[in-house]
Amino acid sequence: MLIGVDVCDIGRFQASLERTPSLRDKLFCPAEADLPVASLAARFAAKEALAKALGAPGNLGWHDAEVVSLPSGQPTLELRGTVLARATELGVSRAQVTLSHDAGVAMAFVVLE
């Protein structure tokens, strides 16, 4: 089992997006990009937590991991490209994620099995 966790200050993240508008498209897949800033911060934290769980290799593509919500609202991770290759290399067959945001902070916890 591999575990990763990350937190993101929502206000600071919003300031970064305002300062560098191209950052939104660099970090997020089209289906993620139009979400409210608190949800984006949580998804950014999820991608960072996923990278940590994978050992943080420097070649992971931001668009190769996407947080997708099931109809129930439960978040899931879709892995492809560089992220899927690293997960496969480590023997990962299942990825789980949980997200939360409150009091100006977003967090994500990732478990890979």
pLDDT tens digit sequence for 61-103:
999 999 999 999 999 999 999 999 999 999 999 999 999 999 9
41 forms beta bridges with none
Instruction: Give bridge partners of residue 106 from the DSSP assignment.
Output: 8, 101
The CATH number of residue 44's host domain is 3.90.470.20
Quote the tokens at residue 4. Answer: 């990763």
Q: What is this structure's pTM? A: 0.95
pLDDT at position 57 is: 80
pLDDT of residue 66: 97
Distances (CA, A) of 82 to 20, 34, 44, 105: 25, 24, 17, 28
* Number of domains present in the structure of the chain: 1
Q: Tell me which amino acid residue 83 is.
A: V
pLDDT digits (tens, 9 = 90+) for 49-66: 999 999 988 889 999 999
Which amino acid is residue 37, in one-letter code?
V
Structure tokens at 29: 């897949």
Per-residue confidence (pLDDT) for residue 112, from 0 to 100: 97
CA–CA dist 100, 71 (Å, integer): 18
Q: What is the pLDDT of residues 11-51, one digit of tens each?
A: 999 999 999 999 999 999 999 999 999 999 999 999 999 99
Percent of the chain whose predicted confidence (pLDDT) is above 70: 100
**DSSP H or E run through 17:** helix 10-19
Domain limits at 83? 2-112
